[in-house]
Amino acid sequence: MKTKLFRTFLVLTVLMVAIVPTAFADNGTDSSALRAAVTVAGIRAHQQQFQNFANADPDGTRVAGLPGHDASAAYVAAQATAAGYTVTMQPFSYELFQEFATPILDRTLPTFFSYPANDLAGFATMVYSGSNNVTALVIPTNDIVIPPGPVPSTSNSGCEASDFPTAVSGNIALVQRGTCFFSVKAANALAAGAVGVIIFNEGQPGRTAAFGGTLGGTVSPTLPVVGAAFAVGEELYNLSQQPGGVTVHMFTDTATTIEVTNNVIAETPGGRSDRVVVVGAHLDSVPEGPGINDNGSGSATILEIALQMADLGIQPRNQVRFIWFSAEEAGLIGSQFYVDGLSNNQIKKISVMLNFDMVGSPNFARFVYDGDGSGTGTAGPNGSDVVEDVFLDYFAEEGLFNEPTAFDGRSDYGPFIDVGIPAGGLFTGAEVLKSAAQAAIYGGTVGDQFDPCYHQACDTFAGTNTALPLQALDEMSDAAAHAVLTFAMTTSSVNGTDKGNGSGSPDFEYQGSLLKK
């Protein structure tokens, strides 16, 4: 079966007429040699090195700015340099948030109950929360909606200073998720004199569980902020309306420090510098573990593609810029820093951004970013549909079923699409549960997460050394290699003449893996 892109090119060539030139042509790129050279064994060798660096780290991780990540970055830079790439270490500082003890949220009056920490039915500390150990009344803000209204969100609780009664001062503010950023709600609570903040979920389907959120930066060294399940907030709200109210004990033990880390950038020495192909993956892990799937899989894959392109002597028509971003897990800090440093002219010279974040999940599915928005309702900037088509046509040729995944702000493509750069990529799933229909197609376990070790200590080399994640790596690395070479060799602009016109979605609910609103 001919690909859709090739069919379009053939028709236009034969008819020798077109009102508008095609936005992209792949020129019949044959990626078979590169795909054959990019092997699972090669990718796994890099993942093993990442595991070794985590093992040598005092905390057993590859968190940005700490030894495990520094060693990973040095390894990638050395490999790319030896292969002939022009390598740059791009340093930046960021706020590293760490939690040192299990948080506590106990109802002490009118009766005692301990809400489970780090549990979907309970609560979790928000990233950049401060530390404190307080027992106080719970005072609800205005505009709490119980029962919850329809989707989309109907509550703007805590979004305005006037939402906080005077009684909040010296007590714990109860705030409902919705409308504005968590950071706004927390800042308003702090200004009102609160000694702690409980932000509970709204209650609509899909918005009931406790959630991991980010405040986007340090709010206060003494203000604990947690994200709680709707049921927790509903109970506290109802009890607060009774005589005597409700009292809780809150405890968090956290610290935020300034760390210096690096993006690693490796460019081909040749190729058109006005049609740069950015190939990205994040190199850092979460504090919970070594991150060998998230995102050792994407980082190792693009490294192996880069090495094999050099080994095969491929001279790209367009410059290819491989970037291993740091501090993605802290909220896309590295990719945002990179994009913020680009001039308007440099932005216009980037033709496409290909993102590979988690491509070897143990209970995988094949997801392609939905460039045209037809499957998820959220499209990327002009040209992202072309990127999607390259992957869809490749999988169609290979007879491999795939599904769309949304541009929701959860990975390093976010800052690129915010400035109008076309983007796309692959993903094999994280915390979402696999359906029976998906298990029938891909194999694996019904009702289990696509990555059962997502953001956990068990995301290790050994934990990704079974048949399914190795199959995922094999299939997705081939698709990645094909797309990289296709865009490296094309003679056409990905999005015609409309390059670098900002049309992204800066109001995403997510900042990396963390909810921000």
Q: What is the pLDDT of residue 502?
A: 42
* Residue 144 buriedness (CB in 10 A; 0-12 / 13-18 / 19+): buried
Of residues 22, 42, 7, the one with CA closest to residue 470: 42
Q: What is the pLDDT of residue 517?
A: 83
- C-alpha–C-alpha distance, residues 326 and 27, integer Å: 34
Structure tokens at 465: 């050394």
Of residues 218, 257, 206, 263, the one with CA closest to residue 415: 263
- C-alpha–C-alpha distance, residues 371 and 385, integer Å: 4
Structure tokens at 209: 């569980």
Give the bridge partners for 267, in sequence order: 86, 321
Q: Name every residue whose Cβ is closer than 8 Å to that of residue 440 and which is 6 or more positions away in sequence.
A: none
C-beta of residue 252 within 8 angstroms of C-beta of residue 129? yes
C-beta of residue 460 within 8 angstroms of C-beta of residue 467? no
C-beta of residue 286 within 8 angstroms of C-beta of residue 63? yes
Q: What is the pLDDT of residue 513?
A: 72
Of residues 18, 25, 9, the one with CA closest to residue 386: 25
Tally of CB atoms within 10 A around 115: 23
Place of tokens 């913020």: 340
328 is catalytic: yes
Q: What is the pLDDT of residue 150?
A: 76
Q: Alpha helix (H) ranges present in 110-176?
A: none
Angle at CA of residue 79, ends 77 and 82, nearest 5°: 105
Structure tokens at 343: 């001039």
3-state secondary structure 171-189: CEEEEECCCCCHHHHHHHH
Taking only Cα atoms into account, the Rg of the chain, rounded to an integer number of angstroms, comes to: 24
Angle at CA of residue 390, ends 86 and 436, nearest 5°: 115
Q: What is the pLDDT of residue 73?
A: 98
- C-alpha–C-alpha distance, residues 251 and 132, integer Å: 6
- C-alpha–C-alpha distance, residues 116 and 121, integer Å: 7
- C-alpha–C-alpha distance, residues 505 and 503, integer Å: 7
- Each as own residue / partner, the long-range contacts of residues 158-165 (CB below 8 Å, 24 or more positions apart, any chain) are 158/184, 158/185, 158/188, 158/189, 158/199, 159/184, 159/185, 159/188, 160/188, 161/188, 161/191, 161/192, 163/188, 164/188, 164/189, 164/191, 164/192, 164/194, 165/139, 165/141
CA distances from 426 to 58, 77, 391, 465 (A): 32, 24, 8, 20
C-beta of residue 320 within 8 angstroms of C-beta of residue 303? no
C-beta of residue 310 within 8 angstroms of C-beta of residue 85? yes
- C-alpha–C-alpha distance, residues 326 and 337, integer Å: 10
Among 202, 328, 388, 475, which one carries the catalytic annotation?
A: 328
Q: Alpha helix (H) ranges present in 83-120?
A: none
* Residue 485 buriedness (CB in 10 A; 0-12 / 13-18 / 19+): buried
CA distances from 195 to 113, 221, 226 (A): 20, 11, 12
Question: Domains (ranges, CATH) in the chain?
Answer: 24-93+259-497 (3.40.630.10), 101-252 (3.50.30.30)
Of residues 383, 251, 257, 300, the one with CA closest to residue 75: 300
Q: What is the mean pLDDT of each run of 10 residues along the chain (517 residues)?
A: 31 29 58 98 98 97 97 98 98 94 97 96 95 97 88 85 97 96 94 97 92 79 91 97 97 94 98 97 96 98 98 97 97 96 96 98 98 94 96 97 94 95 97 96 97 96 97 98 97 65 56 76
Q: What is the pLDDT of residue 508?
A: 74
Of residues 318, 352, 359, the one with CA closest to residue 423: 352
- C-alpha–C-alpha distance, residues 295 and 359, integer Å: 8
What are phi and psi for residue 121, nearest 5 degrees? -90, -5
C-beta of residue 65 within 8 angstroms of C-beta of residue 259? yes
b/e per residue 58-92 (b: at least 16 CB within 10 A): eebbbbbbbbbbbbbbebbbebbeebbbebeebeb
Q: Name every residue whose Cβ is closer than 8 Å to that of residue 354 and which is 6 or more positions away in sequence.
A: 277, 278, 279, 280, 387, 423, 424, 425, 480, 483, 484, 487
Report the interhelical angle of 4-15 vs 384-398 (nearest 10°): 110
Q: What is the pLDDT of residue 506?
A: 53
